[in-house]
Chain A
Amino acid sequence: MPPRCEFQDMGHYSALAVAREAFRDHRGWQRVWKSPEPRRRYDVIIVGAGGHGLATAYYLGKNHGITNVAVLEKGWLGGGNTGRNTTIIRSNYLQDASAAIYEKARALYETLSQDLNYNVMFSPRGVMMLAQTEHEVRGYRRTAHANALQGVETEFIEPGRVKELCPIIEVRGPRYPVLGALWQPRGGTARHDAVAWGYARRCSEMGMDIIQKCEVTGMRTSGGEVSRVVTTRGDIDCGKLGIVVAGHSGHLAEMAGFRLPVESVALQALVSEPVKPCMDVVVMANTVHGYMSQSDKGEMVIGGGADGFINYTQRGSFSHIEETVRALVETFPMISRLKMLRHWGGIVDMTGDRSPILSRTPVRNLFINCGWGTGGFKAIPGSGWGFAELMAKGESPLCAEFGLDRFREGRFIDESVAAGVAH
């Protein structure tokens, strides 16, 4: 084993760098981000190094020039839902506020690899949401009209076109024939880990500290303002604090002394053995509660609905595998003979209207970004963009409607239909 190298700036990743390293046995590659000891104080502390926390830090630096920032992570970077999701990216939501933030995110994904100089493997292969009941047909036609007004490119397509785009679908199934689909041609997938790693690398380059194995266990306020976090690696002072911890949001809010309209439940997914390419779009079937895509490695990536009870274990259950696969077999008969390889769970933060919370809190200078539930991977760049603006300037047009006060005031952003099986 070579000695572990000290962190050095890697410089730009490029074909030239690959060639250069090829000529010296790849001995020049460096660690991608540094792992410093926490300092005593930062202008901004972000709790949670998932995609949303890291993207927030990145845009704080890039768009607002705030770089005295630490991102604290209790486990390892990207080890929460960001590293456990099925990576569907789309922006075909119904309400204007949602379309704005999800489409901002999708648009940023288009050029994220260039922006971060890190290949996030964004693959706009197209996302299809099947309509398998009359009700869904009407619902998706409505969404397609709403999307047209919002400037989000979607269309309602007929079963013939569905079959053309995805030949392995049985469109004449006995119970739930395919009646059409909502098609977003520039939706798709990206590599989840790479999104977290790419943002982390850029944050580190800007001089920010990403501190792993550092759990926040308490918060201190002075005069109604947040001033310090207590962590497993000592106390750290902060000017502003952002909580971006997905399923753990309720726990962190409790430390700060307020409650959230959020419940944390398990969401599960599984992948099959790798098979030859057979599906080059993402398909979601909300009536039967399942969705599927094929990874670059050839595995069929399969997911279903969330559990209905609170659970912090990050584990799956056999009944769920059964339920999800059973749901999909009629629509995708070929999966009935596939062997499933891996199955896992993540803890997702569900709100009453299935929309996120990007908000100030009752504690001054303490902000929260949560409630992305089953579908926040697609939103990472847009959420980071908006939340950074909210933290830096005190307000952000992208976040304006996602405040905590909407629940009291009855201004819900109801996406329970668009969220469907979710994702």
Chain B
Amino acid sequence: MLILTCPYCGIRCDETELAPGGEAHLKRFGPGSSDEEFEDYLFMRANPKGVHFERWRHVHGCGKWFHAARNTVTLEVYGTYPAQVHEPPQEIRDAISAKVPGWRWKDDS
């Protein structure tokens, strides 16, 4: 059972209270994008074994979208943070680096 803390209400929610929303920090390329960019946005996914960033929605609560940083192999949760950011905040990155030596946030975003 996955438990995430909603960063808005501070409530610890189990997965039945939440709706998963897929990979976080994807950029939607608008009209005029290349086929590759649009394919990437629509279909290509990171799907890592390890550290992963996701969107979740506190559907049976405040109803808001938020982000979670999670490990897909150990199911460890590194932290959650609000949706209105382009990349994970520093404290989340530090929390991951402390646990996963050598891990780096992709620089190309």
Chain A interface (Cβ within 8 Å of chain B)?
A: 248, 250-251, 259-264, 307-313, 317-319, 323, 351-352, 407-409
Once the chains bind, are B2 and A309 in contact (CB under 8 Å)?
Answer: yes
- Residue of A262, A312, A407 near B73 (CB, 8 A) is A312
Once the chains bind, are B49 and A251 in contact (CB under 8 Å)?
Answer: yes
9 residue pairs of the A-B complex, CB under 8 angstroms, read A250-B46, A250-B47, A261-B45, A263-B22, A263-B23, A308-B19, A319-B16, A323-B16, A408-B35
Rounded to whole Å, the gap between the CB of A264 and the closest CB of chain B is 6
Query: At the interface, yes or no: B94 with Cβ under 8 Å from chain A?
Result: no
- Residue of A260, A319, A352 near B15 (CB, 8 A) is A319
Once the chains bind, are B20 and A308 in contact (CB under 8 Å)?
Answer: yes
Interface string of B37-63 (1 = CB under 8 A from A): 001001111111100101000000000
Query: At the interface, yes or no: B1 with Cβ under 8 Å from chain A?
Result: yes
Once the chains bind, are A262 and B19 in contact (CB under 8 Å)?
Answer: no
Once the chains bind, are B48 and A250 in contact (CB under 8 Å)?
Answer: yes
Once the chains bind, are A261 and B20 in contact (CB under 8 Å)?
Answer: no
- Residue of B14, B16, B54, B73 near A309 (CB, 8 A) is B54
Nearest B residue to A254, CB-CB: B48
Query: At the interface, yes or no: B97 with Cβ under 8 Å from chain A?
Result: no
Chain A residue contacts of B48, Cβ below 8 A: 250-251, 310
Chain A residue contacts of B100, Cβ below 8 A: none
How far does the alpha carbon of A250 sit from the alpha carbon of B36 in the complex, in Å? 18
How far does the alpha carbon of A260 sit from the alpha carbon of B91 in the complex, in Å? 30
Once the chains bind, are A263 and B54 in contact (CB under 8 Å)?
Answer: no
Interface SS majority for chain A: mixed
Once the chains bind, are A262 and B45 in contact (CB under 8 Å)?
Answer: yes
Chain B interface (Cβ within 8 Å of chain A)?
A: 1-2, 14-16, 19-20, 22-23, 35-36, 39, 42-49, 52, 54, 72-73, 75
Beyond A259-B46, A263-B45, A308-B22: 16 further Cβ-contacts under 8 Å?
A259-B45, A261-B39, A261-B43, A261-B44, A262-B47, A309-B2, A309-B20, A309-B54, A310-B72, A311-B72, A313-B75, A317-B1, A317-B2, A407-B43, A407-B44, A408-B39
- The 4 tightest CB contacts between A and B, nearest first, are A261-B43, A250-B47, A308-B20, A309-B20
Once the chains bind, are A352 and B1 in contact (CB under 8 Å)?
Answer: no
Chain B residue contacts of A309, Cβ below 8 A: 2, 15, 20, 54
How far does the alpha carbon of A282 sit from the alpha carbon of B10 in the complex, in Å? 45
Chain A residue contacts of B43, Cβ below 8 A: 261, 351-352, 407
Nearest B residue to A251, CB-CB: B49
Once the chains bind, are B20 and A264 in contact (CB under 8 Å)?
Answer: no
Once the chains bind, are B1 and A318 in contact (CB under 8 Å)?
Answer: yes
Nearest B residue to A352, CB-CB: B43
Rounded to whole Å, the gap between the CB of B67 and the closest CB of chain A is 13
Rounded to whole Å, the gap between the CB of B62 and the closest CB of chain A is 19
Rounded to whole Å, the gap between the CB of B32 and the closest CB of chain A is 16
- Residue of A248, A312, A313, A407 near B39 (CB, 8 A) is A407
Known: A250-B48, A309-B2, A309-B54. A407 touches B75 (CB 8 A): no
Rounded to whole Å, the gap between the CB of B30 and the closest CB of chain A is 17
How far does the alpha carbon of A261 sit from the alpha carbon of B23 in the complex, in Å? 12
Chain B residue contacts of A352, Cβ below 8 A: 42-43
How far does the alpha carbon of A318 sit from the alpha carbon of B15 in the complex, in Å? 11
Most chain A C-beta atoms within 10 Å of own C-beta, residue among B35, B49, B52: B49
How far does the alpha carbon of A409 sit from the alpha carbon of B35 in the complex, in Å? 8
Rounded to whole Å, the gap between the CB of A389 and the closest CB of chain B is 26
Nearest A residue to B50, CB-CB: A312
Nearest A residue to B56, CB-CB: A309
